[in-house]
């Protein structure tokens, strides 16, 4: 998992990109990078380690571009080093990417035959050179569409161009949010990275693309037709995201576990009836004969514990599936089954893909998430927020409860 940010403005974007990348470090921190357009050229700076290291580089060698993209990486293709860090740039275009391009090896061989020389081991550099190659014969938007049609896999992309005052975002499988600001607009892996700059957010759906300038945002669907998107107003965070007196966020979040559990129980307890109340639950519990809990990592382990609890408290049959394996089984969906998808962020790629499969088969779905604006929350028939507050630490603690 990686984090991306993009800003189109009429003033220097470097500081805001750095601050946003710091908020995305929970998505990866083995390397970081930024690219801006300065005097009609791509100015790229990258480093290994955390965003603080990148900030030191920029302090010694500032960048004043009004258009830029940034990235924090958790390595998938290629070892964590400066060469493999994002952005990946050619003379014409610079790209940041979250996801995995499954056919990158074949595409790379095709590009090498055309004379392109690869510096990194990443699948992202393939995207950069594909766009560069298509720009020889197509305009900017057509080149992006041609590139996206070539890609197999999941991605969220942030793209800037040497001679264009635009930031382009595109997604398939991986999340991407768009933010609206005064005389500038934003692109980010999630709303948390954008909250310090704006509370007006739009989420791209699968197959969609956006084009940002400092004064406008255009959206396109998978058929390259212009569309309108709903603007959401984000609520203020209930919990502070400051470390306070703690050394790190993980320590803070461990100590918040008692308050988190108390808050969650309060939200789902009817004090008058002294019973659990799932407000406005749209399904008839008597018609649910089986529940399937689906998650990855920490969420998967929380599903395993929940299975024991539900089996003790109810007569409903409970199964647990790990999301990464769910899509590859021959599943027989039934009308009396409820599929519950558990994800702290609400953006876990495998869990979201499992949800999409259930939706295609008209299965009943419920999302258990900590981020109510997330993809899983928006796609589920019903959402049960866990009210844990923002979790910054990479290792999940309070959200597990």
Look at residue 314 in the predicted model and tell me its pLDDT. 87
Q: How many CB atoms lie within 10 A of CB 336?
A: 11
Count of domains forming the chain: 2
Residues 299-333 pLDDT 10s: 999 999 999 999 998 889 999 999 999 999 999 99
Same structural domain, 227 and 255: no
Q: What's the pLDDT at 73?
A: 85
Residue ranges making up the domain that contains 284? 249-385
Q: Please give the share of the chain, as a percent, with pLDDT higher than 90.
A: 65
Residue 152 tokens, joined: 């197999």
- The verdict on residue 77 lying in a domain is yes
* 378 and 271 inside one domain: yes
Residue 161 lies in a domain: yes
Q: What does pLDDT average to over the chain? A: 90
Mapping DSSP onto H, E and C, the string for the chain reads CCEEEEEEECCCCHHHHHHHHHHCHHHCCCEEEEEEEECCEEEEEEEECCHHHHHHHHHHCCCCCCEEEEEEECCCCCCCCCCCCCCEECCCEEEEEEEEECCHHHHHHHHHHCCCCCCCCCCHHHHHHHHHHHCCCCCHHHHHHHHHHHCCEEEEEEEEECCEEEEEEEEEECCCEEEEECCEEEEECCHHHCCCCCCEEEECCCCCEEEECCCCEEEECCCCCEECCCCEECCCCCCCCCCCCCCCHHHHHHHCHHHHHHHHHHHCEECCCCEECCCCCCCCHHHCCEEEEEECHHHHHHHHHHHHHHHHHCCCEEEEEEHHHHCCCCCCCCCCEEEEEEECCCCCHHHHHHHHHHHHCCCEEEEEECCCCCHHHHHCCEEEECCCCCCCCCCCCHHHC
In a domain, 121, yes or no: yes
Of the chain, the end-to-end C-alpha distance in Å amounts to 23
- How many alpha carbons fall within 13 Å on the CB side of residue 232? 16
Last residue of a domain, one of 204, 233, 262: 233
Asked if the structure places residue 103 within a domain, the reply is yes
* pLDDT band (50, 70, 90) for residue 64: confident
220 and 253 fall within a common domain? no
How far is 254 from 100, CA to CA, in rounded Å? Answer: 32
For residues 229 and 263, membership in a common domain is answered with no
Lowest mean pLDDT among 73-77, 180-184, 296-300, 377-381: 73-77
Between 56-60, 159-163, 280-284, the lowest mean confidence (pLDDT) is in 280-284
Give per-residue pLDDT as tens, 97-140.
Answer: 999 999 999 999 999 999 999 999 999 999 999 999 999 999 99
For residue 379, is pLDDT > 80?
A: yes
Residues in the chain: 401
Q: Are 161 and 200 in contact (CB under 8 A)?
A: no
Give mean pLDDT, residues 58-79. Answer: 88
Hey, how many other C-beta atoms are within 10 angstroms of the C-beta on 248? Answer: 11
Bigger pLDDT: 221 or 29? Answer: 221
Is 152's pLDDT higher than 70? yes
Tens of pLDDT, residues 237-291:
544 466 778 888 888 888 888 888 888 878 788 777 777 777 678 888 888 999 9
Q: Is residue 395 part of a domain?
A: no
Give residue-wise pLDDT tens across range 74-101: 777 778 889 999 999 999 999 999 999 9
Considering only CA atoms, which of 372, 309, 305, 310 is closest in space to residue 343? 372
Would 211 be classed as within a structural domain? Answer: yes
The C-alpha atoms of residue 331 and residue 312 are separated, in whole angstroms, by 26
Task: Examine the domain organization and report whether 269 and 318 are in the same domain.
Answer: yes
Percentage of residues of the chain with pLDDT beyond 70 = 97
Q: How far apart (Å, rounded) are the C-alpha atoms in residues 390 and 192? A: 8
Both 198 and 265 in a single domain? no
42 and 134 inside one domain: yes
CA angle 128, 133, 138 (to 5 degrees): 115
CATH value at residue 212: 3.60.20.10
Q: What is the mean pLDDT of residues 340-355?
A: 91
Q: Are residues 62 and 164 part of one domain?
A: yes
Q: Which two tokens stand for residue 75?
A: 């390595």
Residue 296 has pLDDT above 90, yes or no: yes
| Residues 188 and 20: beta-carbon distance below 8 Å | yes
Cα 171 to Cα 118: distance, rounded to the nearest angstrom: 24
- If phi > 0 it is left, if psi is from -120 to 50 it is alpha, else beta; for residue 299 that is alpha
What does the pLDDT read at residue 240? 45
Q: Are residues 67 and 147 in the same domain?
A: yes
The verdict on 212 and 284 lying in the same domain is no
Q: Are residues 23 and 151 in the same domain?
A: yes
Is there a domain that residue 240 lies in? no
Residues 159 and 265 in one domain: no
The rounded distance, in Å, linking the Cα atoms of 180 and 185 is 5
Structure token pair of residue 289 = 């004969």
Per the CB < 8 A criterion, the answer to whether 120 and 84 are in contact is yes
What pLDDT, on a 0 to 100 scale, did the predictor assign at position 387? Answer: 86
Residue 294 has a pLDDT of: 98
Asked if the model's pLDDT at residue 205 lies above 80, the reply is yes
Task: Give a yes or no: residue 201 inside a domain.
Answer: yes
């Amino acid at each position: 998992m990686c984090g991306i940010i993009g800003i189109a403005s009429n003033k220097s974007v470097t500081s805001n990109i750095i601050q946003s990348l710091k908020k995305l470090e929970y998505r990866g921190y083995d390397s970081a990078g930024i690219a801006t357009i300065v005097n009609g050229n791509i100015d790229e700076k990258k480093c290994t380690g955390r965003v603080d290291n990148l900030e030191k580089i920029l302090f010694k060698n500032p960048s004043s571009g009004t258009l830029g993209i940034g990235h924090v990486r958790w390595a998938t293709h290629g070892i964590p080093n400066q060469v493999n860090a994002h952005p990946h740039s050619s003379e014409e275009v610079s790209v940041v990417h979250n996801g995995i391009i499954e056919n990158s090896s074949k595409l790379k061989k095709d590009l090498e035959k055309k004379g392109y020389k690869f510096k990194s081991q990443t699948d992202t550099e393939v995207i950069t050179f594909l766009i560069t190659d298509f720009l020889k014969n197509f305009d900017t938007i057509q080149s992006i569409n041609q590139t996206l049609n070539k890609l197999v896999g999941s991605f969220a992309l942030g793209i800037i161009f040497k001679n264009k005052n635009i930031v382009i975002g595109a997604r398939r499988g991986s999340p991407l949010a768009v933010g609206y600001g005064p005389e500038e607009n934003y692109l980010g892996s999630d709303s948390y990275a954008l909250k310090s700059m704006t509370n007006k957010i739009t989420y791209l759906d699968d197959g969609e693309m956006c084009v940002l300038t400092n004064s406008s945002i255009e959206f396109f669907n998978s058929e390259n037709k212009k569309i309108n998107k709903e603007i959401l107003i984000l609520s203020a965070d209930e919990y502070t995201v400051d470390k306070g007196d703690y050394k790190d966020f993980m320590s803070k979040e461990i100590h918040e576990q008692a308050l988190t559990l108390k808050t969650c129980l309060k939200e789902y307890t009817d004090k008058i009836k002294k019973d659990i109340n799932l407000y406005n639950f749209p399904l008839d519990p008597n018609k649910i004969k089986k529940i399937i809990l689906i998650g990855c990592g920490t969420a998967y382990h929380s599903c395993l514990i929940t299975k024991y609890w539900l089996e003790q408290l109810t007569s409903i049959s409970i199964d647990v599936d790990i999301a990464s394996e769910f899509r590859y089984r021959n599943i027989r969906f039934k009308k009396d089954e409820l599929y519950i998808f558990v994800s702290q962020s609400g953006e876990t790629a495998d869990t979201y893909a499992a949800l999409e499969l259930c939706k295609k088969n008209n299965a009943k779905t419920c999302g258990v998430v900590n981020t109510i604006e997330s993809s899983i929350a928006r796609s589920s028939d019903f959402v049960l927020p866990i009210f844990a507050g923002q979790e910054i630490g990479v290792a999940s603690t309070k959200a597990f409860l």
